[in-house]
Amino acid sequence: MTKFALSPDREKHVEEILSRYPNRQAACIPVLHVCQEQNGWISDEVVEWVAARLDLSAAHVKGVVTFYTLFNKEPVGKHQVWVCRTLSCALRGADEILHHCEKRLGIHVGETTKDGKVTLRTAECLASCGTAPMIQVDKDYYENLTTAEVDRILDRLIK
Amino acid sequence: MLRQTTYLTKRYGVPEGWTLPVYERDGGYQQAKRALSMTREALVDEMKLANIRGRGGAGFPMGVKWSFMPWPPKPEKPHYLVINADEGEPGTFKDRTIMELDPHAVVEGCIIGCFGIGAHAAYIYVRDELHLSKARLWGAIKEAREKGYLGAKPFGIDYPVEVYVHTGAGAYICGEETSLLNSLEGKRGEPRLKPPFPANAGAFGMPTTVNNLETIAAVPVALAMGGDAFSKLSDLHDQKDGGCRLYGVSGHVNKPGIYEACVGLTLRELIYDLGGGVKGGEMLGVIPGGSSCPILRPDEVVNAPDAKSPLHRWHGKNVLDVPMGVETYRALGTMLGTCCAIVLNKNTDIVLAMHNLMRFYRHESCGQCTPCREGSAWLFRILDRMTHGEATMEELDRLHEIADNIMGNTICAFGEGTAMPALGFLRKYRKEFEEYVRTKGKSGTGRLAL
């Protein structure tokens, strides 16, 4: 079992994050984000590493990880596709976009394609209601979508 | 009367409008500099005159909130300013436009806000999904710091101010101010009991003011114009609901988007004049200000014969023609919320619409209070059965009961935020729900999208 460690660049980033707050605990969520960026998900090793780095109990860190939807509790695909399906998006065709993604990728919501490239998810409101329907791919928003545009986006991901 | 303005959206659509040179060309940071040379009392008084009601949902007067901070600050108890930019309310997407298109207004507002409440650090709490917003805010902070507007001596004045962006990790409840504070402190975002209020014990146990992002972005504009003049932009100045604000409209309209206008715009103006009218014909209903605001029907008429009612002036008029204000909407039995409306046209399956919203609330309940955790899931389960044509009349009545029992029995307002819209749907569309149950869903259109 390899021990988790951050790259020197990311370690420097953690130092900078710690300087923003009056105590170490406040850095918990930002530091978990940095770890997830490197590791792809929050394993128990990562939980222990964060706990040790911030002088917290592993139970506390685990509690934080399980509370928030953006922390991956298991490995995910190389890319993550989030389809917003809350009311404003649903009124403008989010369900069709979602079904299209499922059909196109050959997986259901929550699953990852066999080649490990794409994980498909649903999101609860991504604050893009005026430009619905929309999806988020990794860090980018794609808005005012049609199924043809979804095809083009997914093609780029899985090729 | 439709009165569109561009005080807050001046730099929207301007090339590089989010950078310091453009902001300074428009007189940026002059108000922060001026504020730091005012007395704290004069600044807070000016803000009280501006009558800026919180733009995050509850609509509390901002200047009054600033005045609640213990004064003078004790050295062992530093004050904090926390900006709520969590923006998870379905239908709401206004704060994101400010962060992406005018981040310097936020930073300048933070400097003024810090001085007004005696803080030296501001944390802007942004949801992690908004990567562009975070980048633009950090970019603005960096530019301001390099120019010497932030740091140990902003504008050469001996009043240190730092501004940081803090990100969440995906939880709607973190838009609630006390759970936001827990999240900022590195904990699960579970709401706290009030009291103590944040002004006494907030972030890190210290006196804290939590302001919505649009609220703080309006501060430099209000200060530049003068509090009273800013307030008088509004049709509801006499109800202490001042200035201009951002309005959003989404769902079944032809031109969804964010529009700026004076306070007092009506829903009819928002939907028809700005939003380009209802897509696909007639309107079934409109959720006025984010999904926790009870829905309004287009055939509702104001009933306010009492001259003391804030709605008396509009007695007998259609609800769509009532100016959108904190007090007027409260009197209508709904809420102004974030001022971002969701429009549903007459082909919308009302049961599916409620099902969609209740799925959201089930997913986002933090789980701390039993009535909310169990109630939101129970509401969703019954609606799910209903959409499958399996629910009975008894279960339809049970929806009322469950929602009634959530009300007032939870630590935070999330419970009401679930129950009130649920009751709104059930009371105003009772006939449609009954018909849906009787026909096992055949009376519904089975569709949300057009």
Residue type at B89 in one-letter notation: E
Decide if B172 and A124 are in contact by the 8 Å CB cutoff. Answer: yes
Interface test with A, best of B94, B99, B101, B128 (most A CBs within 10 A): B128
Pairs across A and B, CB distance < 8 A: 154
Tally the residues of chain A: 159
Verify that B56 and B200 share a domain, yes or no: yes
The whole-angstrom distance between A69's CA and the closest CA on chain B is 5
| Predicted pLDDT at B201 | 97
Q: Per the structure block, which two tokens stand in for B237? A: 């100045």
By the CB < 8 Å criterion, does A69 face chain B?
yes
What is the distance, to the nearest Å, from the Cα of residue A79 to the centroid of all Cα atoms in its chain?
Answer: 9
Of the candidates B94, B118, B152, the residue with the CA atom closest to the CA atom of residue B337: B94
The whole-angstrom distance between A17's CA and the closest CA on chain B is 10
Q: Which chain B residues are within 8 Å of A125, Cβ to Cβ?
A: 88-92, 172, 360
Q: What is the pLDDT along chain B (450 residues), one digit of tens a residue?
A: 789 999 999 999 999 999 999 999 999 999 999 999 999 999 999 999 999 999 999 999 999 999 999 999 999 999 999 999 999 999 999 999 999 999 999 999 999 999 999 999 999 999 999 999 999 999 999 999 999 999 999 999 999 999 999 999 999 999 999 999 999 999 999 999 999 999 999 999 999 999 999 999 999 999 999 999 999 999 999 999 999 999 999 999 999 999 999 999 999 999 999 999 999 989 999 999 999 999 999 999 999 999 999 999 999 999 999 999 999 999 999 999 999 999 999 999 999 999 999 999 999 999 999 999 999 999 999 999 999 999 999 999 999 999 999 999 999 999 999 999 999 999 999 999 999 999 999 999 999 998
Burial of A27-65, coded b for 16+ CB within 10 Å and e otherwise, reads bbbbbbbbbbeebeebbeebbebbbebbebeeebbbebb
Chain segment A27-70, per-residue pLDDT in tens: 999 999 999 999 999 999 999 999 999 999 999 999 999 999 99
- Residue ranges of chain A assigned to CATH 1.10.10: 8-67
Q: Which chain A residues are within 8 Å of B356, Cβ to Cβ?
A: 85-87, 90
Decide if A124 and B257 are in contact by the 8 Å CB cutoff. Answer: no
Decide which of B231, B265, B297 is a domain's last residue. B231
Instruction: Write the CB contacts of B370 (distance below 8 Å, at least 6 apart in sequence).
Output: none
Verify that B181 and B311 share a domain, yes or no: no
B81 close to B209: Cβ distance less than 8 angstroms: yes
Decide which of B345, B369, B390 is a domain's last residue. B345
Q: What fold characterizes domain A79-158? A: Glutaredoxin (3.40.30)
Q: Per the structure block, which two tokens stand in for A101? A: 């993604």
Instruction: Write the CB contacts of B50 (distance below 8 Å, at least 6 apart in sequence).
Output: B62, B63, B222, B223, B227, B228, B230, B231, B242, B243
Residue B444 in any domain: the answer is no
A129 is in an annotated binding site: yes
The owner of tokens 């409209």 is B249
Residue B449 in any domain: the answer is no
Cα angle for residues A96, A101, A105 (degrees, 5° grid):
155
Q: Per the structure block, which two tokens stand in for B6? A: 């561009």
Give the SS3 label for residue B82. Answer: strand
Give the count of domains, chain B.
Answer: 3
Decide if A130 and B356 are in contact by the 8 Å CB cutoff. Answer: no
- Phi then psi dihedrals of residue B27, to 5 deg: 90, 20
Decide if B168 and A29 are in contact by the 8 Å CB cutoff. Answer: yes
**B164 to chain A: nearest residue by CA?**
A20
Chain segment B186-226, per-residue pLDDT in tens: 999 999 999 999 999 999 999 999 999 999 999 999 999 99
Verify that B187 and B279 share a domain, yes or no: no
Decide if B256 and A33 are in contact by the 8 Å CB cutoff. Answer: no
Residue B447 in any domain: the answer is no
> pTM higher than 0.90, yes or no?
yes
Domain of residue B30, CATH code: 3.40.50.11540
A84 is in an annotated binding site: yes
DSSP string, A108-133: -TT-B-TTS-EEEEEES--S-GGG-S
The owner of tokens 């108000």 is B31
Residue type at A87 in one-letter notation: L
B330 close to A117: Cβ distance less than 8 angstroms: no
Verify that B286 and B173 share a domain, yes or no: no
Average pLDDT over residues A77-88: 97
Q: In whole angstroms, how far apart are CA B195 and each of B76, B150, B202, B414?
A: 21, 33, 10, 17
Decide if A67 and B164 are in contact by the 8 Å CB cutoff. Answer: no
Q: Per the structure block, which two tokens stand in for A32? A: 């978990």
Decide if A140 and B130 are in contact by the 8 Å CB cutoff. Answer: no
B72 close to B207: Cβ distance less than 8 angstroms: no
- Residue ranges of chain A assigned to CATH 3.40.30.10: 79-158
The arrangement of strands across the sheet holding A140-142 comes to A118-123, A79-84, A135-137, A140-142
Decide which of B175, B203, B231 is a domain's last residue. B231
Of the candidates A68, A20, A127, A79, the residue with the CA atom closest to the CA atom of residue B173: A68
Interface test with B, best of A23, A47, A91, A124 (most B CBs within 10 A): A91
| A8-67: CATH architecture | Orthogonal Bundle (1.10)
B63 close to B50: Cβ distance less than 8 angstroms: yes
Verify that B101 and B189 share a domain, yes or no: yes
Cβ burial of B316 (10 Å; 0-12, 13-18, 19+) is exposed
Verify that B139 and B224 share a domain, yes or no: yes
Residue B101 in any domain: the answer is yes
Instruction: Write the CB contacts of B6 (distance below 8 Å, at least 6 apart in sequence).
Output: B260
What is the distance, to the nearest Å, from the Cα of residue B3 to the centroid of all Cα atoms in its chain?
Answer: 21
Q: Which chain B residues are within 8 Å of A22, Cβ to Cβ?
A: 78, 204
- Of B186, B252, B256, which has the smallest distance from its Cβ to A64's Cβ? B186
Cβ burial of A96 (10 Å; 0-12, 13-18, 19+) is middle
Decide if B449 and A139 are in contact by the 8 Å CB cutoff. Answer: no
Decide if B91 and A87 are in contact by the 8 Å CB cutoff. Answer: yes
Q: In whole angstroms, how far apart are CA B200 and each of B47, B65, B80, B180?
A: 21, 12, 11, 16
Decide if A127 and B167 are in contact by the 8 Å CB cutoff. Answer: no
Verify that B196 and B323 share a domain, yes or no: no
A101 is in an annotated binding site: no
Domain of residue B432, CATH code: 1.20.1440.230
Interface test with A, best of B250, B292, B352, B373 (most A CBs within 10 A): B250
A28 is in an annotated binding site: no
Verify that B341 and B355 share a domain, yes or no: no
Q: Which chain B residues are within 8 Å of A29, Cβ to Cβ?
A: 166-169, 183, 186
The whole-angstrom distance between A103's CA and the closest CA on chain B is 19
Residue B361 in any domain: the answer is yes
Verify that B221 and B122 share a domain, yes or no: yes
Verify that B150 and B94 share a domain, yes or no: yes
Q: In whole angstroms, what is the distance from residue A4 CA to residue A44 CA?
A: 10
Chain segment B63-85, per-residue pLDDT in tens: 999 999 999 999 999 999 999 99
Decide if B188 and A132 are in contact by the 8 Å CB cutoff. Answer: no
Residue B335 in any domain: the answer is yes
Verify that B341 and B399 share a domain, yes or no: no
Domain of residue B324, CATH code: 3.10.20.600
H-helix or E-strand spanning residue B404: helix B393-406
Verify that B38 and B168 share a domain, yes or no: yes
Residue B10 in any domain: the answer is no
| Domain extent for B83 | 20-231
H-helix or E-strand spanning residue B182: helix B177-184
| Predicted pLDDT at A1 | 45
Instruction: Write the CB contacts of A70 (distance below 8 Å, at least 6 apart in sequence).
Output: B128, B129, B168, B169, B170
Give B405-429 as a 3 state SS string: HHCCCCCCCHHHHHHHHHHHHHHHC
Average pLDDT over residues A93-110: 97
Residue B278 in any domain: the answer is yes
- Of B169, B183, B252, which has the smallest distance from its Cβ to A91's Cβ? B252
Q: Which chain A residues are within 8 Å of B341, Cβ to Cβ?
A: none
